Structure 1
Amino acid sequence: MGHAPTDTRSRLTEVSLAVAEFAHAHWFFGNLYEAVVKVPHRVAGSEDGPGLRRSPLGPGSPGRYYAPLAPATFPAVALALAAGWNRPGSRPWLVTAAAASATGGAVTAYLLRSVNPPLFFGPQPPSEMRRNPLLARWYRVNALRLAASAVALAAIDRARLAGLRSGCAPGF
């Protein structure tokens, strides 16, 4: 009976890691897709009509597929870090996953506040002279976001493996 808190923490760590892994995979592949098919070029050049403001959740906006999972991404990693702190073998990987997740979140916040509004959500698409530097910045920053989510995914996997090796993971 003395192992119940450890079992609960271990289970919480594993569930949090599973949620974090799913959310980061969603984030990684969504951002990769946007870059490969040049979604920013399509959205930045679209016009909804005269005088209409383009919307973050409007037709064609990637916000529609990020909104359901984005809020769970960092909190799931942070919860796994807190719950799994008692796993010495997993701890460095949990810290790495949390740091990468926070970095990706910070980079995304920068895009959402500084690049996306003039690029995607003005009353009219920006001129080509204004649009091209914003698109270049979007792709550079998105590359950082992809790297951060890839590091987080790899660290989550390593944390899970380290937990399995130490016998801390519950059987599902």
Structure 2
Amino acid sequence: MGDLRGGFSAARRLVDVAEAVRATPDLPRAELAELLAGHGERPGDLTEEAFPEAGAAELRTAARRMAAVLGEVDEDRAAEALNALFEECGTRPRLTRHDGHPWHLHVDRGEGAGWGDWFLASGALALAQLLTAYGRIAWGACAAAGCGRFFLATGPGSVRRYCSGGCATRARVAAHRRRKREGEQ
């Protein structure tokens, strides 16, 4: 995973791709390629030849699987799920530096890995690094009614439950109104 202070972030890529696929399950290959390019993937790796529809389908399936981990609130179950993904898709860690990114770990099967395996392995590594760096789950699905957007919670303070201040405010106002109505009965 990239530097948490800015720049490339495999965790941010994971969240953005998983959220895009959650919102649009059949997200077109070209839109996935554009999203990946926005996260620093090489344009040459995102051509129709290098990233065909079959690769996009693998990536969409992997994103749906990672969505289950992003929605996990129990640290032990999250760790078990990440370990299962490492077992399934990972290999020995290796340091790599490419495309202007600083040295970082890869745990996928190298250039021969399919798009799904690559996404699962890199996503699992990113979340495992967050879990160990923060000592808690540092991601989630928004708890606001009707939202559910995935987010990273890597800032200071207590555990986040909402994707934004707007969702947190709406949830607090709704809870206040509900308590007020219940008190009037």
**More helix, by proportion:** 1
Q: Which has the higher contact order (CA 8 A, sep 6+)?
A: 1
**More strand, by proportion:** 2
What range describes the TM-score normalised by the shorter chain of this pair?
Answer: under 0.3
TM-score for both structures, normalised by structure 2: 0.26
Bigger radius of gyration among the two: 1
TM-score for both structures, normalised by structure 1: 0.28
